Structure 1
Amino acid sequence: MIDTHSHIFLSEFDEDREEVVVGAKEAGVFKILMPNIDEQTIPPLLMTEAAYPGFCYAMMGLHPTSVKEDYTEQLSIVEDWLGQRDFVAIGEIGIDLYWDKSREKEQREVFGTQLRWAAEMEKPVVIHVREAFDAVFEELDKVNDSRLKGVFHSFSGNEEQARRALGYDGFMLGINGIITFKNSGLDKVIEAVGPDRLMLETDAPYLTPVPYRGKRNQPAFLKYTLEKLANLFNMTTQEMDQLTTRNAAQLFGLDL
């Protein structure tokens, strides 16, 4: 399995990161992709990648909830890093209107800028969208570049939004512990759109799947999302593992 979205570089893992990595490998995870948040997270992100070469892979981007007064400076830092070395993706980027609607204009600008960079660099994007599907679709349509590809991370929308997201060529849905939540309704949505363009993620330390909901999430728990998806489509866990792993490797240019 590939955990396509995990924050194991955050302070929540400072006490036992090595154990978490060992546990992930024992559970069948063989790569972890890590999205950046903002300037503050770049040092621990890159240190974690360096500590686990060939296992942990860094992305670079500015998260929508980190779009503050200094967003132009933050964006220039991201741009500098993208010019310095290779990253598996531009992320985590997007629009989040759950916590704060007052910066929608700035979030749209930052999102659009990073989408254009991704198209120019032919890098996949990892899109965070929370209560903002219409805004995200509008910005994607503005860029309208066939080179764009990526994933709607932590997808939790309805069937119409899922079909709209998959209407963009080269885009997939990132599925995590939400699909195991009893009343999320996400299982019905995913069942309706089919398994072909799905990828696994944890979003650790957040969104812990059943049966560990309420505890800190970690990459080893990816198997519970895998099992739920396999059951949903009457596939073996091995078949679903192969499908989602192939999708992730193809999108992010990873070796299997």
Structure 2
Amino acid sequence: MKYIDTHAHIYSRKFESDLDLVMAGVQEAGVDRIYMPNIDLESISAMLAMEKKYPGVCIPMMGLHPCDVKEDFEEQLQEMENWFERRDFAAVGEIGLDLYWDKSFFEQQKEALRIQISWAKKKNLPIILHCRESMEETISLVRAEQDGSLGGIFHCFTGTLAQAQEIIELGFYLGIGGVATFKNGGLDTVIPEIGLERLVLETDAPYLAPVPHRGKRNSPEYIPIIAEKIGDYLGVSKELVAQKTTENALKVFEAYESKL
């Protein structure tokens, strides 16, 4: 079985002490690709170092995380836009809205998201959306920006069935991670209704580890655990989940994959 982790911060310092061991485990688990979301200007060098060390496996994306949108967001965005002129990235991400932490820059978050969506349209790239405690707001903004050319992933989807259906109607995929294994995660009632057609797998490592590793450092090695749980919800094999979600991920990142 082959898997793709569509969202993992494998460049995080939390992996510094045993990175080679983790990556050996990733290979053993059958994870062929790890798509790495960027966070801010400081995270770029570590992310690109991972790409260099594990070429064709660790794939970089470029974007400004909503929690890192502050007074200087326009300057940060200008530097990131310059990066797109220097080289290819697989997607614009991780971008979006966050109302869980600091709400004082919410208007700036929305402006930053619109700017980064404009990059995606210009370069025909997918967007990777963060929408913590802001699902409705993110859906609304994306709907307003959708001109038929936008696509990508609503990362770490934990919304309702109605929200899932709206996202699918907008032409996007749902990123399903460790929350699928949580007892009160809510996805047990959503996934059976929407099936595999618009699902991709992710870990968000080092965060949100699936059961039985909940509360510990997450890793792309745990993707098969998430796949198995999705299979349980749908009454299908882990192999089918692996096959379909890999196909879906390859569609999302088709433009970049064609260059590998």
Give the TM-score normalised by structure 1. 0.97
1:1-256 alignment, distance < 5 Å = 1-169=3-171, 171-253=172-254, 254=257
CA contact (8 A) 1:90 1:126 kept: yes
Look up the equivalent residue of 2:154 and give its one-letter code: F
Name the CA distance, whole Å, in 1 between partners of 2:251 and 2:143.
24
Structure 1: which 5+ runs fail to align? none
CA contact (8 A) 2:36 2:58 kept: yes
CA RMSD of aligned residues (A): 1.1
Deviation at 1:231, TM superposition (A): 1.3
- For residues 5-43 of structure 1, the C-alpha deviation after alignment (integer angstroms, 9 at most, x for no partner) is 000101101111111111000011111100000001000
CA contact (8 A) 2:146 2:170 kept: no
Name the CA distance, whole Å, in 2 between partners of 1:211 and 1:12.
19
Name the CA distance, whole Å, in 2 between partners of 1:175 and 1:86.
26
Name the CA distance, whole Å, in 1 between partners of 2:97 and 2:227.
27
- For residues 188-242 of structure 1, the C-alpha deviation after alignment (integer angstroms, 9 at most, x for no partner) is 1121222211000000000000111111000111111000011111111111100
Deviation at 1:144, TM superposition (A): 2.3
Look up the equivalent residue of 1:245 and give its one-letter code: T
Deviation at 1:134, TM superposition (A): 2.2
CA contact (8 A) 1:119 1:145 kept: no
Deviation at 1:138, TM superposition (A): 2.3
Name the CA distance, whole Å, in 2 between partners of 1:172 and 1:234.
21
Structure 2: which 5+ runs fail to align? none
Look up the equivalent residue of 1:149 and give its one-letter code: G
Look up the equivalent residue of 2:233 and give its one-letter code: L
Deviation at 1:102, TM superposition (A): 1.2
Look up the equivalent residue of 2:160 and give its one-letter code: N
Deviation at 1:145, TM superposition (A): 1.8
Name the CA distance, whole Å, in 1 between partners of 2:120 and 2:79.
15
Name the CA distance, whole Å, in 1 between partners of 2:86 and 2:26.
30
Deviation at 1:142, TM superposition (A): 2.5
Deviation at 1:73, TM superposition (A): 0.7
With 132-141 and 120-129 compared, the bigger mean Cα shift is at: 132-141
Name the CA distance, whole Å, in 2 between partners of 1:190 and 1:112.
29
Name the CA distance, whole Å, in 2 between partners of 1:5 and 1:196.
18
- For residues 73-119 of structure 1, the C-alpha deviation after alignment (integer angstroms, 9 at most, x for no partner) is 11111101111100111100000011011111000000011111101
Look up the equivalent residue of 2:115 and give its one-letter code: T
Give the TM-score normalised by structure 2. 0.96
Name the CA distance, whole Å, in 1 between partners of 2:141 and 2:130.
13
User: For 1:14, what is the secondary structure of its paired residue?
Assistant: helix
Name the CA distance, whole Å, in 1 between partners of 2:116 and 2:157.
20
CA contact (8 A) 1:8 1:205 kept: yes
